[in-house]
C-alpha cells in the first residue's frame, strides 16, 4: 500500500478534507501543492508513494502534471481526482501515466488502496 501522499489541488478546503480522510485511513500526507508547477516540484523533492492530483489546476491540467511526474524515477503512483465523472476521463488519466481516476465525491482510503492494488 502506498503510505506517503502528496495532495495537489487548487482548493485549500478540499486539500484539508482529503488530508483528514487519508490520514484517518492510515496514509501519511507529507505535502500539499496548489498548482501544477509546485506539485511537480513537491513530487520531486518529497518523493511520495502517491500523488493525489486534481484534474483542473490554475496553470495546467492534471494530465500534463501526471505525465511529467510519472516520467521520472522513482515515479510515484498518480491518481487523478475531479468533481467530474470518471467515465469521461479515466482512459485519459491512464494514458497520461496515472493509475486511475477517482471522483472527489467517491474519494476514500479503501478505494485508493483498491485502485493502487490493481495497478
* Model confidence pLDDT, tens digit, residues 10-50: 999 999 999 999 999 999 999 999 999 999 999 999 999 99
Residue 17 lies in a domain: no
Backbone φ and ψ of 88, nearest 5° = -80, -25
Domain span at 80: 37-46+66-97
Ordered alpha helix ranges (H), the chain? 12-24, 36-46, 62-70, 86-95, 109-118
Residue 76 lies in a domain: yes
Residue 28 lies in a domain: no
C-alpha cell at 104: 472527489
Residue 22 lies in a domain: no
- In whole angstroms, give the CA distance from residue 75 to residue 77: 7
Residue 1 lies in a domain: no
Q: How many domains does the chain have?
A: 1
Residue 89 lies in a domain: yes
Q: What is the pLDDT of residues 60-106, one digit of tens each?
A: 999 999 999 998 888 999 999 988 766 666 777 878 888 888 889 99
- In whole angstroms, give the CA distance from residue 113 to residue 42: 22
Amino acid at each position: 500500500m502506498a503510505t506517503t501522499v502528496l495532495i495537489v489541488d487548487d482548493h485549500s478546503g478540499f486539500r484539508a478534507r482529503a488530508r483528514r480522510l487519508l490520514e484517518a485511513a492510515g496514509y501519511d500526507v507529507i505535502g500539499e501543492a496548489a498548482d501544477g508547477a509546485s506539485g511537480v516540484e513537491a513530487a520531486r523533492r518529497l518523493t511520495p508513494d502517491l500523488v493525489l492530483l486534481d484534474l483542473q489546476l490554475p496553470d495546467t491540467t492534471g494530465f500534463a502534471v501526471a505525465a511529467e511526474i510519472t516520467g521520472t524515477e522513482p515515479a510515484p503512483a498518480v491518481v487523478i481526482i475531479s468533481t467530474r465523472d470518471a467515465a469521461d476521463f479515466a482512459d485519459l488519466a491512464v494514458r497520461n501515466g496515472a493509475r486511475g481516476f477517482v471522483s472527489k465525491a467517491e474519494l476514500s482510503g479503501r478505494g485508493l488502496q483498491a485502485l493502487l492494488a490493481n495497478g
